[in-house]
Structure 1
């Protein structure tokens, strides 16, 4: 592994307690190309990073996602290792995070924090929220990625260029995970360790940001697993029609007719069936689209080989 081919990307916002030790440890491991993208810190974080030899970029927008998108445009190295600047992601796992990319086994690597962490690093609410969101992502996208909200990730530069990222806040990790599924990128999950935050308090609001993340999972999931979304909606409509139909039937046996409710029952059942069929057809189109993308990737690889 040539570590000069790796850019370590660290988004920061008031991380003066942890940024220095983090950069020093990365440098001791041989990672010299370190890019700190700062979200307008007021505690001197950029100055500390610059003094230690890191390249510092002050983002023009706001939010972690905006910082990452701006940084990705600046990076020219073929491999990118992203980690949080709060000291929760141990640099000792950097080599194992990069290895699947360098070996060509993966286009994207996720550092799994949930299997091993410091006491108090994750509250019960945090753990429950992560479990729910990872399970929901699996249902919505059809792929289980273990820790979709991890900020410890590895990328190839080519994979970043395919993602077309746009989220500016904490939903960025969800968008990245969704893009991996949508573009059929190869990914690996590497077990890491999550340390207790020694510096500034977390910027993530579990309820406000949790809602945004779930909304993002649902929005992107429609593109990756339409059968799930449309079938759920179709089943709900169909069940509603079934129950209203039972009521109409019982009332009819009593000699009472409910013509408007009968019409509503038929509409609900028919709409439910049609919605399910839309999901089935959309899933077939998506499968065909993915096959076409794979064929195009093979053709591109063959053309590149011919050029060489």
Structure 2
């Protein structure tokens, strides 16, 4: 199967990208892509007007934030394939075929990995370290190492998008997409792409503030994606705290010093920790059963679709 250009929607979320949006749209049009959709976050520099003149379909988002813009745009796209990238000039149209290739062979979701092919100066040492930490934390929380979960270069099938329950309104949207893709057992492929320096436009991402939000999102989403990690982390922390206090209580007791209130607190901490950890185990069992049920339902749906196709023929 070969993906035709007319079946692909190029989705570009923008906010004050007037310096780069025209050339980016022109590059995609020269490659034969006709469906170029710009979702603009109320830019004040004329980005939307420039994008329209360059031949893109432009919509102004209703809400606020990158995540909100992407979620709104997904609901407006009808093409069977979506290729999404930032409009700031850091990603190249030349990598489009690399991104779309895995979809031809059955992938549901493709992530463009920037960290092994970035242009000199495109990522600071802090950026690289932060990305590595976040990728490792994501693996611990969600069970998959996806190499670059914060990449803004993504490709989807329309069917896979219908299985993602997206709610994040800010820069956490890429993290949520990755977590939802893992939770729904999508076939995810990671491919290397180039990553260029920003051409003079200031970044909208604050490394420390947004990094904290992303890490918090990874942990919060683990509640439904990996309950054993979500509850187990809290339970283990309480249990360890109780054991440490217990050692102190026992040490004083051996020296004929009784600490009744601290003894009660020690017991409560250890019991609470074990109970919360048990919630994690139970949640993990229910999640495994839920995934198996969904997998069987998908198989059944595929069989029904085949039967309907045979009846029509």
Q: Provide runs of 4+ in structure 1 moved above 4 Å.
A: none
How many residue pairs get aligned? The number is: 307
* Gaps in structure 2 of 5+ consecutive residues: none
Residue 142 (1) aligns with residue 171 (2): no
1:199 Cα deviation (Å)?
Answer: 3.8
Match of 1:61 among 55, 60, 63: 63
Partner of 1:163, secondary structure, is coil
* Gaps in structure 1 of 5+ consecutive residues: none
- Cα distance in 1 for residues equivalent to 2:169 and 2:200: 23
- Cα distance in 2 for residues equivalent to 1:203 and 1:41: 13
For 1:172-229, what per-residue CA distance to the aligned partner results, in whole angstroms no more than 9, with x for missing partners?
1111111101111111001101100114211111122112111111110121111122
1:39-78 equivalences in 2 (<5 Å): 39-78=41-80
Contact 1:140 1:222 in 2 (8 A): no
Contact 1:86 1:199 in 2 (8 A): no
For 1:52-97, what per-residue CA distance to the aligned partner results, in whole angstroms no more than 9, with x for missing partners?
2111111112111111111111100000000110111111110111
- Cα distance in 1 for residues equivalent to 2:303 and 2:261: 63
1:103 Cα deviation (Å)?
Answer: 2.4
Match in the other structure for 1:194 = 195
Match in the other structure for 2:90 = 88
1:10 Cα deviation (Å)?
Answer: 0.4
Residue 238 (1) aligns with residue 239 (2): yes
- Cα distance in 1 for residues equivalent to 2:230 and 2:71: 29
Task: State the TM-score, normalizing by the size of structure 2.
Answer: 0.95
Contact 2:83 2:156 in 1 (8 A): yes
Match in the other structure for 1:154 = 155
- Cα distance in 1 for residues equivalent to 2:44 and 2:230: 44
- Cα distance in 1 for residues equivalent to 2:56 and 2:134: 34
1:232 Cα deviation (Å)?
Answer: 2.0
Residue 174 (1) aligns with residue 140 (2): no
- Cα distance in 2 for residues equivalent to 1:56 and 1:30: 19
1:13-52 equivalences in 2 (<5 Å): 13-52=15-54
TM-align CA RMSD = 1.2
Higher mean C-alpha displacement, 46-55 vs 292-301: 46-55
Task: State the TM-score, normalizing by the size of structure 1.
Answer: 0.97
1:276 Cα deviation (Å)?
Answer: 1.8
Match in the other structure for 2:105 = 103
Higher mean C-alpha displacement, 73-82 vs 36-45: 36-45
Contact 1:83 1:151 in 2 (8 A): yes
Partner of 2:207, secondary structure, is coil
Residue 204 (1) aligns with residue 174 (2): no
Higher mean C-alpha displacement, 40-49 vs 290-299: 40-49
1:164 Cα deviation (Å)?
Answer: 2.2
Contact 1:8 1:33 in 2 (8 A): yes
Contact 1:163 1:179 in 2 (8 A): yes
